[in-house]
């Protein structure tokens, strides 16, 4: 119990000794002298008055004007209220100060390795927030909620969103193309492919929790091929929509015969260690 309380207080900017002293006062049925606070908190007597003085200056405890002085804590509710108010003020100051420092990619020649599902979607959100004209995205429906709000906000600001979804997806703010379903052998997991303004791109696997990996860059050697790959998928899906019957006569439902042909080539190369 005490250990958990100390950890919580330390997250609220208390030092270890401050947390122990505050909790000792909080746990006591009556105000304590400095000597008693040291005994009940375990804070060394040589340090207790400095610790209590720091807490008093911060407004976390109250001291009586008598000899010896007695100390009592402000209520936890008041403590939390003050911490929230201070944090909000700090965030407002930081937002105002850093508002002129726009999030931009300063190193265009590097390709960065993003590790972990959380980090990948956080980076995707930043890319989407930087977009000014157009976002192309290929993603599975089960992963779309991770960045749905960011896409919607970008659309509201005038950015065109074009989405290729590997399954049914609803996004009224976007132009949505449903990709034909993939067979198990065609994907070693779910991936996400993102291009923003044809200037910034990210591609990676997002279905392996913290083992997910993605590449992110503004390098034209990565951005241009990724963007064009998504555009060519859009070509194919638009052609399928208009001429599905004719194409399926030659290549089977959802082009399965064609897909299996190239999948066999890919699997053969994979077994030889080419990928």
Residue 100: pLDDT band with limits 50, 70, 90: confident
DSSP result, 59-96: TSEEE-SSSS-EEEEPPHHHHHHHHHHHHHHHHHHHHH
The sign of the dihedral angle between the CA atoms of 232, 241, 179, 274 is negative
Structural domains of the chain sorted by starting position, each given as residue range(s) with its CATH number in brackets: 2-98 (1.10.10.10), 111-271 (3.30.870.10)
Mean pLDDT of the chain: 88
pTM of this structure? 0.64
Spatial distance between the Cα atoms of 110 and 252, rounded to a whole number of angstroms: 42
Evaluate if residue 13 carries a pLDDT over 80.
yes
Predicted confidence band at 256 (pLDDT cuts at 50, 70, 90)?
A: confident
Sequence-separated contacts (24+) of 32-39 with Cβ below 8 Å: 32/70, 32/71, 32/72, 33/68, 33/69, 33/70, 33/71, 34/68, 34/69, 34/71, 35/68, 37/71
Share of the chain above pLDDT 70, in %: 90
* Model pLDDT, residue 21: 96
- At residue 271, does pLDDT exceed 80? no
Residue with the larger pLDDT of the pair 263 and 149: 149
More confident residue, 268 or 221: 221
231-244: pLDDT as tens digits: 999 998 888 888 88
According to DSSP, residue 182 is labeled: P
Residue 180: the pLDDT is 77
pLDDT in tens, 174-217: 999 998 777 655 566 899 999 999 999 999 999 987 789 999 99
What tokens does 31 get? 């105000």
């Amino acid at each position: 119990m005490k250990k958990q309380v100390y950890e919580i207080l330390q997250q609220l900017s208390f030092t270890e000794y401050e947390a122990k002293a505050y909790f000792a006062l909080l746990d006591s049925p009556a105000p304590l002298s400095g000597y008693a606070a040291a005994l009940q908190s375990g804070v060394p007597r040589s340090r207790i008055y400095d610790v209590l003085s720091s807490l008093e200056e911060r407004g976390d405890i109250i001291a009586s004007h008598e000899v010896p002085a007695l100390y009592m804590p402000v209520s936890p509710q008041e403590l939390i209220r003050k911490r929230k108010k201070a944090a909000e003020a700090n965030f407002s100051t930081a937002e105002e100060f850093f508002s002129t420092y726009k999030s931009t990619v300063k190193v265009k020649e590097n390709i960065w390795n993003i590790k972990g599902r959380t980090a990948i979607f956080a980076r995707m959100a930043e890319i989407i927030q930087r977009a000014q004209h157009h976002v192309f995205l290929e993603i599975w429906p089960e992963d779309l909620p991770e960045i749905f709000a960011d896409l919607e906000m970008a659309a509201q600001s005038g950015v065109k969103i074009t989405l290729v979804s590997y399954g049914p997806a609803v996004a009224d703010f976007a132009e949505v193309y449903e990709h034909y379903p993939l067979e198990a052998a065609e994907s070693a997991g779910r991936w996400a492919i993102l291009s923003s303004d044809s200037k910034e791109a990210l591609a990676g696997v997002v279905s392996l929790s913290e083992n997910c990996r993605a590449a992110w860059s503004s390098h034209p050697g990565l951005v241009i091929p990724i963007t064009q790959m998504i555009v060519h998928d859009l070509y194919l899906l638009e052609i399928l929509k208009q001429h599905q019957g004719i194409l399926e006569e030659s290549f089977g439902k959802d082009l399965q015969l064609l897909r299996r042909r190239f999948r066999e080539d890919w699997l053969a190369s994979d077994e030889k260690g080419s990928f």
